[in-house]
Every structure is written in C-alpha cells, then in structure tokens.
Structure 1
Amino acid sequence: MSPDRHDPAPSHATAPPPMSKEAFRSLYDRLRAQALAGGTDRRSGTLSRLTPERVVAAAAGVRSGRTVSLAAPVETSPGPDDPHPASHSMIAPADGDADGHGLRFALDRFAMNVHGDADSHLDALCHVIFDGELYGGVPASTVTPDGAGALTVDLVRDGIVGRGVLLDIPRLRGVPWLDPGDAVTADELAAAEAAQDVTVGPGDLLFVRVGHRLRRRSLGPWDAARARAGLHPGAMDFLAERGVAALGSDGNNDTAPSVVADVAFPVHVLAVQAMGMHLMDYLDFEELVPVCEQSDRRHFLCVVAPLRLPSATGSPVNPIAVL
C-alpha cells in the first residue's frame, strides 16, 4: 500500500476511556487554580521550576558526554500529514556563478508552518487560546495578525536546560508503537517509571514516547490530524503532581480523535493554557532509545534552544540529549 493511502485505523489499540465535558472542565479548573495559586510563575509558567540548582544537578549527571538529537529531519515534500511542508530554496549562487576565481557564497531561504503535524517544534504559552484567554488570564486580544504581544517564544530565548526523562510506553506494553487513536494514561506513566527504574521529579523535562516516528517510517505517513496516539488528558494530573517543567512527545501530545467531546486538543489546553507548560510536538526518540538501553539510563541532561522570534507562537526546535 502506498504511504499516502495508508489506513490510520487502529489495529491493536485499546480504545482510550472517554472524558465527559464536565470532567474535563473540573480537571481544567483544578489544574489552572493550582498553577495560578503557586509553584509556577505567571510569566514563565512551569519553567520557573527549572531552578539553577536543578540545572547544575542535571549537568552533574552527564557520564559519557554523548549527544543525541531529539528532532526529526525537517520535511520539505508534501504528504498526508504535511500538506504544507517547509520550503527550502537556494538563492545563490546562480547557475555557473560558482565557477572561476574569487569569493562566492552559497545562500538559501527557509520557511515553515511551525505548528504542523510533521516537523519538530515547541509551542509557546501564547499558542493556545481557551475561553478567550491565554495562560494566566492574559487576553487573547494580545495575539494579532502582526504577532503575539505576550507569552511568546521569546520567553525561552535563553533556552530550556534541565534533566530530561524518557518514558517509553511501547516498551512498557511490549509493542513497537501505539496505534493512532490510542492514549497514554497517568497509571501508564507511573508504570513506565517503575519498569525503567526512573522517577520523574520537580523541574524535569518529561519526554513520552508513543512510537509515532517508528510507525511513520515503517508504514508510511498518514493523516495524523485525524488519527494519532498521544496522552489522555487525565495524564496531566501526573505531570502536575510531579512538578514537571516541560513536556515533549514524538507525536502531538494529544490523541486523535479527542476523548473529550468539543475539545479537540485537551492536553494542549491543560498543559499550555491552564498550567503554563511549554510543549514540544513531533520529536524523534528513535536514536535516543538504543543509547538509553546501552547505558541503562532513561534520564539525561537536555538542552532546548528555540529560535529567537520575539512575537512568535512557537519555533522549530532541536533538543539535544547529553548522556
């Protein structure tokens, strides 16, 4: 079957438990109240948990000095999950201009739909609007056609550096990947901790593998906007209890179809808008997994350096794990 006609219907996934609109609203109100009452900063959100002491401790955990990228190669060809891919063009030299003596420069131009379903990116705190507000009650009117005026990706211009923890859910389940439509629960996050002998703690950067990238490479791309594996919104309780600073996944973090009626991206709403947590979507852990297996460690120093885009709602990102 050709990649652009791949059927995303689940083959062995267990249907995730639905969440009523009332239950979602209750969870939203509780997590939002906790975030605004204390433990997070109204400007930087959960990144306020990344204290200098925690950064130093994460750096002290480096053993081999090996570095691994957690980003996927940028896509420049259209596909069922990427109808508007990034564009890359050479603007110099023109044909024949590089020949001969003297100095020449090769120049290129790049453009990207940052929040697509294929490329690795970071969501700023101004990315999610819910009930007319951004995180911390900032009015949605601060986001205009000219750019965002508050909570932009510029908040992380100095980078995000801390202890990264990888929880591998397919490994826990004994499958290569989770099928589209499946969802990771809070209990599974706790079970993955125990199985991998690691504990998620305050200020950690949590990375949850669902196997999206491996499935895409094995079976071909599909319409991930319509069907994908992700986290169940109830799993956000786990992150709140552990004091996680940022969340990343090799998928979108949200499962599709959504388990909450009339809320298409409940994890984005809870994480970004309610809790003030930066998200990293569509990362790639397939190079990291064997390194973690070889070293028998699922935690590492992680360095995330978004582009300096003062009024943007997100950025392409290439997190680096240092083991």
Structure 2
Amino acid sequence: MSARPTVSREEFDALFEAVRTWGRWDRADRGAWNRVTGDHVRRAVGVVRSGVVVPMALPWNTRSGPDNRKPALHHMTDLGDVEGPEPTTHKDFIAADYHGKGVTHLDALSHIAYAGLLYDGRPARENVDAAGARFGAVAALGPLVTRGVLLDLPAVLGVPWLEPGHPVRAGDVRAAEEALGVTIGEGDAVLLRSGHVRRRAELGAWDPATASAGFHVDAVPLLAERGVALLGGDGDSDVRPSPVEGVHSPVHALAVAAMGVPLLDNLDLEALAGATAEAGRYEFLLVVAPLNVPGGTGSPVNPVAVL
C-alpha cells in the first residue's frame, strides 16, 4: 500500500496546532510523561499475571547494511593479560550513533524540533548545542514505567507483516483495539508491530528510511485524544515515504515536538507478539530505563514487557 504524500504542509501545520500541548505542564521537559502518576504505575503493575518477561531490544549491531549505515562499535579492551593480582579481568567498549535504524533507542524531547522549535515552544538553537540539550534531555525522563498496549496489525489482518510503505491510519487503530480486546488509555505506551523484524529475517534487509510501515498522520489525533505518554514500534513510528510533502518524519514532529510524547524506535516485537497471542491479552507492564546522560537527546535502551 502506498504512503505517497496526501497531506499538504498547510494541513499538517493545522494538525500540529490541534494536537500540541505546550504550556500544559510545569515540568515541560517531561512532556506527556507528566500524565503517568504513581497511581497509574500501580494500575500498570496490576495487569501482570503470569510474570513472563519479554525483552524488546535488537541485538547490538556492528555490521554495516542498508538499515545500519552507522554500525555500533564493540571491541575488547582487556583480555585478562594486564599484569596485576588475581583475578584477571575481561573488559569491552561499546559506542553507537544510535539515532538511526540499527539500534533500539528512546527519543527524548530534545531530539526533534519543528519550524525551529522544540516541545513547549522552546527555540532549538537556544536549548541544544555542542554540549548537548539544556531542555528536554533524556535525564529529565528517568525510568519509564507504565501500561503498554501492543497493536499487532499483522495479527489483526491475518498477514505475516505489513509491507514497507503501508500506512496505519486511525481506523486501523480502532479496528486493532476491537480485534485484540484492548483499549488505549491515558498514560499508556502504544507499541505498533508491523512485522518489520520478521520480514527482515525472511527476506533480508532493506533501507527503512525510504520505505517502512508505520503510522499515518491521521492516526495521531486519536492517540492525542487518548492521552498516550509513549509511542513506539518495530520501525520508527513513521510510515515512509512520508505522506506529508516536505516533512520527512511527520509523526516524530507531531509526537515529540507538538505533544511531548517520547518515542521508542527499532523494537523487536516478535517475541512479545507471540507472548501476547498466547496469553490472549495485549496489555502488559512496560519498563524502559534510559541511560542517565546529562544533555542527551535520547538513549539506547532494552525495554521490557512483563505479562
């Protein structure tokens, strides 16, 4: 299904204004995460039944490919041959330019600006420089614990995966809620499974920057109305090619810059899809612990679902 541009820039700007939440919270650097209170966390813990724990991070990928233009780094720095008393040690080094397609990561509010403005109308040039972000940094979010909801669109449609370029629209979200017996609520984390990881495993890698399944912008008002606090998927939430002329990542702009909703990119949702199908329920406790990087625009993460 094509996702060729169908939304004008003027229509997109009007949508941006309609969903933005600037000025709503005193802790603006936390954005929509302000919705998640202690009571919400306790309710999220209450959905745990079996105790099955499902990690959702991709393997640390050090191999170059069409979907990994900047491979992560991993090398050993100590192989037990350093002189000294027992015991000997083995140490390694890791690094990643993680805002891409190859690393599972969290986008903080400082990651995206639209028309030169970060979330809450903060000028990007005044708040992000070579030293990092002074507003909307990942450290302001801290650990994220809430109820997660999986929208498994291939399961709903009876297909192994959505083809790259397939847009998930508002009607698809409602149909998935009905079919899966789950309703998105305030403070929830919504995870979209397109089957990206399964398609890559069976057919090989492609460049998801040019073609990937994801949310169409017309799904965003529904997510805004429900009051979501976190959005993620096995792609980067945006359908590509973009349906908005001149805006390459419109869902990023709407979620992060307008609504203050952090994003989880490049999840592996295959094990979670199997676990939720077996359990017959598509809600779970979600735990995301980003690295405490002062000024960071995000962080590599290994999100965990607990059923």
Shared fold, TM over 0.5: yes
Shift of 1:14: 4.9
Unpaired runs of 5+ residues, structure 1, are: 1-12
Secondary structure of the 1:150 match is coil
- 1:281-316 deviation per Cα after TM superposition (whole angstroms, max 9, x unaligned): 110110111111111110001111011111111100
Whole-angstrom CA distance in 1 between matches of 2:174 and 2:5: 17
Secondary structure of the 1:109 match is strand
Structure 2 counterpart of 1:86, which letter?
A
Shift of 1:238: 1.2
Please say if 1:233 is aligned against 2:217.
yes
Give the TM-score, by structure 2 length: 0.95
Please say if 1:133 is aligned against 2:100.
no
Unpaired runs of 5+ residues, structure 2, are: none
- 1:222-243 deviation per Cα after TM superposition (whole angstroms, max 9, x unaligned): 1111111111011111111111
CA distance 1:84–1:17, shift in 2 (3 Å): closer
Structure 1 counterpart of 2:17, which letter?
D
Structure 1 counterpart of 2:76, which letter?
M
The residue correspondences of 1:90-129 to structure 2 (distance < 5 A) are 90-93=76-79, 97=81, 102-129=86-113
Please say if 1:27 is aligned against 2:27.
no
Secondary structure of the 2:278 match is helix
Whole-angstrom CA distance in 1 between matches of 2:133 and 2:140: 12
Whole-angstrom CA distance in 1 between matches of 2:131 and 2:84: 44
What's the C-alpha RMSD, in Å, of the aligned pairs?
1.8
Please say if 1:275 is aligned against 2:263.
no
1:7 is aligned to: none
Whole-angstrom CA distance in 1 between matches of 2:26 and 2:251: 18
Whole-angstrom CA distance in 2 between matches of 1:52 and 1:100: 48
Whole-angstrom CA distance in 2 between matches of 1:40 and 1:86: 37
Q: Are the equivalent residues in 2 in contact too, given 1:164–1:205 (CA < 8 A)? A: yes
1:86 is aligned to: 72
Of all paired residues, the percent bearing the same amino acid is 46
Shift of 1:36: 2.3
Whole-angstrom CA distance in 1 between matches of 2:170 and 2:145: 25
Shift of 1:42: 2.0
Q: Are the equivalent residues in 1 in contact too, given 2:256–2:263 (CA < 8 A)? A: yes
1:222 pairs with one of 180, 184, 206: 206
Structure 2 counterpart of 1:144, which letter?
D
1:199 is aligned to: 183
Shift of 1:271: 0.2
- 1:66-115 deviation per Cα after TM superposition (whole angstroms, max 9, x unaligned): 10001111111111111211000000026xx2899832111111010110
1:156 is aligned to: 141
Q: Are the equivalent residues in 1 in contact too, given 2:72–2:97 (CA < 8 A)? A: yes
Structure 2 counterpart of 1:295, which letter?
A
Whole-angstrom CA distance in 2 between matches of 1:101 and 1:274: 56
Whole-angstrom CA distance in 1 between matches of 2:4 and 2:193: 17
2:237 is aligned to: 253
Shift of 1:38: 3.7
Give the TM-score, by structure 1 length: 0.91
Q: Are the equivalent residues in 1 in contact too, given 2:58–2:103 (CA < 8 A)? A: yes
Shift of 1:19: 1.1
Secondary structure of the 1:61 match is coil
The residue correspondences of 1:158-177 to structure 2 (distance < 5 A) are 159-177=143-161
Secondary structure of the 1:110 match is strand
Whole-angstrom CA distance in 1 between matches of 2:78 and 2:229: 42
1:181 is aligned to: 165
Structure 1 runs of 4+ aligned residues shifted over 4 Å read 14-17, 98-101
